[in-house]
Structure 1
Amino acid sequence: MTSNASTILLIDDEPQIRKFLRISLAAQGYHVIEAATGGDGLAQAALAKPDLLVLDLGLPDMDGQQVLSEVREWSQVPVLVLSVRAGEGEKVKALDNGANDYVTKPFGIQEFLARVRALLRQSQAGESPQATVSVGPLTVDFAYRRVSVEGVEVSLTRKEYAVLAQLAQHAGRVVTQQQLLKDIWGPTHVEDTHYLRVVVGHLRAKLADDPANPRFISTEAGVGYRLQSA
């Protein structure tokens, strides 16, 4: 394995499948890490900064579709779903949730490796997730989906966390209202700016962030929001 080998994270609860894929991928020069649960997979995705994520949907602690949705709240790491679920509806759902490709079990290893190579070619440099982002006393821990201010954990709803996580991934830069609405609520809600205003208002209240003199989230009038850079 070379020092610049791509890192691939396998999230699958079947030890035999993980072993088979680990041997096959390692033989091609890839660095392989593994997780047997969705929770561990999410933590590894943030901490290990993989170049590609191979995700099974039938996990013991949470559905793989949920894992995929949560990863997409803060990362654009390529995701290849590998699942026994062969129905069109399941495939469409995974792709809508942000999967880049979908392979059904049982599968041919040569086809699988070809799809891995294609996704790695398509991926852009610099898209690996960060484990944490800190802005002054505010810390967003992507591995454990925790937000704290001055060391005190803040309880956020799913949507509040999703908005903050996306802003944190682009700290110092404006994220447009349309982009936030599309990524978090879906493409049919890009005009529903009131949804976003309500969530940002609640988020600011929980972070004790004065919109008139923001420590964390500033409004770019008519455009979007910006998390102050660290």
Structure 2
Amino acid sequence: MARVLIIEDDPSVRDGMELVLGRYGHDVLAAATGEAGLHLLRDRPDIVVLDLMLPGMDGFEVCRRIRAAGPIPVIMLTARGDDFDVVGGLEAGADDYVVKPVTGRVLEARIRAVLRRVEPGPQQVDVDDFGDLLIDRAALTVAKNGVKITLPPTELRLLLELSAAPGRVFTRERLLELVWEHDYLGDSRLVDAAVARLRAKVEDVPAKPRHIQTVRGFGYRFDQ
């Protein structure tokens, strides 16, 4: 199972999640502040469950620092689920979100879904060469102009799915099914935020992408 880092200032919520996830077999680390949570990154958690409303350093800044430290996936906790929290958290680099209160079963399912995103699916070709972009599907690595770039699990899975069928248009709903594996009732914010983050890493000019094209009114397409 996974090593899960919980960063949550409410002791009852934190203790409850720690207890439930421990029962599912996870190795759980817990912190009450963003500063303490960042300190626990040295213990190499597989995934972070992060509350956005933290005292001191808020969850948005904590998420940005986690993302800068490496490809550790982040599930953010939001009490309201409104646009400010959700969009802000996704722009900061979160891979997924859940609205509190959340049951242990749902949280554990989200954790498993996020961690599955780094697992390679069945592919006929191990390495795709798109000129400036080289995607090794077996090794799960991506290089741009010969330089390896590190992608968090969600962005990597998104790139793998889009590039597996160049020229095909994927609706946001289909990408939600393929990448996030849950029914988000048409919440396209997850897809749009992940695409924006991915473009910033794989495109020379993200505002004028070469590979990841927006098909207005439908979704996204990968061009060679």
Q: In which range does the TM-score fall when normalised by the shorter chain?
A: 0.5 to 0.7
Per the alignment, residue 21 of structure 1 pairs with 17
- Of 113, 121, 127 in structure 2, the residue corresponding to residue 118 of structure 1 is 113
Per the alignment, residue 90 of structure 1 pairs with 85
Alpha carbons 2:78, 2:85 under 8 Å: kept: no
Structure 1 unaligned blocks of 5 or more: 126-172, 177-181, 193-230
Distance 1:105 1:124 in 2: 28
Structure 2 unaligned blocks of 5 or more: 121-145, 150-195, 207-224
Alpha carbons 1:11, 1:56 under 8 Å: kept: yes
1:42 aligns with 2:45: no
Q: Deviations over 1:100-143 (max 9, x none)?
A: 11001112322111111111222469xxxxxxxxxxxxxxxxxx
Distance 1:102 1:175 in 2: 28
**Code of the aligned partner of 1:84:** A
Query: In percent, how many aligned pairs have the same letter?
Result: 36
Higher Cα radius of gyration: 1
Secondary structure of 1:32's counterpart equals: strand
Give, in angstroms, the shift of residue 13 of structure 1.
0.6
TM-score when normalising by structure 1: 0.52
1:7 aligns with 2:3: yes
Per the alignment, residue 140 of structure 2 pairs with none
Per the alignment, residue 63 of structure 1 pairs with 58
**Code of the aligned partner of 1:8:** V
Give, in angstroms, the shift of residue 17 of structure 1.
0.9
TM-score when normalising by structure 2: 0.53
Alpha carbons 1:78, 1:123 under 8 Å: kept: no
Distance 2:18 2:40 in 1: 16
